[in-house]
Amino acid sequence: MTSATSEGRPRAAVETAPGRQAGRPQSGVRVAGAPPGISRIRVARGFWARLAGLMFRRDFPHDEGLLFERCRAIHTCFMRFPIDATFLDGAGRAVKTVRNIPPWRLCVFGGPGAESVLETKARGAGSRSAPDACFAPT
């Protein structure tokens, strides 16, 4: 379901199951551009949830993601593990993915068309994939 922001721009295609509270892990949230294997998505709503993000966490489950709506760039300051960032357009489709972003990266931009970002634990950690390898789906 796509809704509009107060500026009239569409929000990421996120659906929340009835009765669920924002900010808690939710299996009823769907994002069209979510990577395979992500079964729970936490939506960072509100100032404190967006400010804290994944900072200071010791670990993050491989099947969980953190979605930031109306966000085109991220940082990984104060993080303890690498992440993958999937930047989404207004319809929730992936426009850019940056893999294996190490802690203390100051700024990663989503580029043209990015309206929100889904952060997940890096799936390529320990693999031969190069850090910051970017791709845009065809």
CATH number of the domain bearing residue 55: 2.60.120.1140
Residue 27 lies in a domain: yes
**Which of 113, 116, 109, 104 has the alpha carbon at shortest distance from 134?**
109
CA distance 36 to 81: 20
Q: What would the pLDDT profile of 108-123 be if each residue is shown by its tens digit?
A: 999 999 999 999 999 8
Residue 95 lies in a domain: yes
Residue 92 lies in a domain: yes
Domains identified in the chain, total number: 1
Q: What would the pLDDT profile of 23-46 be if each residue is shown by its tens digit?
A: 444 444 567 778 888 888 999 988
Residue 115 lies in a domain: yes
Residue 43 lies in a domain: yes
Residue 8 lies in a domain: no
Domain membership of residue 61 as a residue range: 14-135
As a whole number, the mean pLDDT across the chain is: 75
Residue 9 lies in a domain: no
**Res 124: pLDDT:** 67
pTM (predicted TM-score): 0.70
